[in-house]
Amino acid sequence: MLSAADMPAALKQALQQLPNQQRTSAQQALSKFLAINPQHSLSKENATWLEHFLAQMQTQLFKQELQDLPISMQQAFALHNRHSYPAWLDHLLGREDSPFWQTASVAKAQLLLENLLSSSQATSQQMPEAQLLTSQTMLVDFSRTTPLSAASFSSQTDNPNSVYYSLNNGIAGKLFPLPVSNKEINAVYGKQRLTLLPAP
């Protein structure tokens, strides 16, 4: 979406308005972000960056609407989006026909650049700690045949003596489809499968 319609021109204008040092960092962050290809394996850093970016966009986009609500409702909103798939965010930022992308203003471009830069910095600070944690990232992309996919960046166990402690080369960051409908299941796994039923 950052490359669609009038957004590139708005981003270019927003970059020109930044101080020299910040402009360079923002340009690097933008170029790196645009180079991410969700059709290929994600690195742990890029997956964490996407997570930070979307979380910050959520805070900025709904700041005005949330600030008048009780604290408990604000916390529930944040908690829900942290631990589940935020469909509203996907439809707002991931669809070209959403209201967010109907206009490409410099102010909107500045918001995107600020969040790209700050989320990139937050990701860099988190990565030394993230390497010690097991994690899995879920990606929802409706442009894919099977929209729901998952990527693992760590082993299936915390036991270093287990044969499953290390991921095989090429597995870490690879997106594996998670089919939901029967059509998707047949496309991914085939029609021959073993069905387990409880004993009568």
Is the pTM higher than 0.85? The answer reads no
13 pLDDT band, cuts 50/70/90, is: very high
In sign, the C-alpha dihedral spanning 107, 101, 50, 59 is positive
| pLDDT, tens only, 78-96 | 777 777 766 667 667 777 7
Which pLDDT score, from 0 to 100, does residue 127 have? 66
CA distance 138 to 30: 22
Helix, strand, coil fractions of the chain, as percent rounded to 5 = 50, 5, 40
Mean pLDDT of the residues in the chain: 79
| pLDDT, tens only, 65-82 | 788 888 888 888 777 777
Which pLDDT score, from 0 to 100, does residue 154 have? 67
Residues 6+ apart with CB under 8 A from 119: 49, 52, 53, 55, 56
Enter the DSSP assignment of 43: P
Nearest to 119, CA basis, from 59, 181, 37, 160:
59
Which pLDDT score, from 0 to 100, does residue 158 have? 64
Pick from 51-60, 63-72, 120-129, 158-167: least confident? 158-167
Give the phi and the psi of residue 158 in degrees, each rounded to 5. -95, 0
Through-space distance between the first and last CA atoms of the chain, rounded to whole angstroms: 54
Enter the DSSP assignment of 96: T
CA distance 10 to 97: 18
Res. 196: pLDDT tops 80 = yes
Arithmetic mean of pLDDT, 47-57: 82
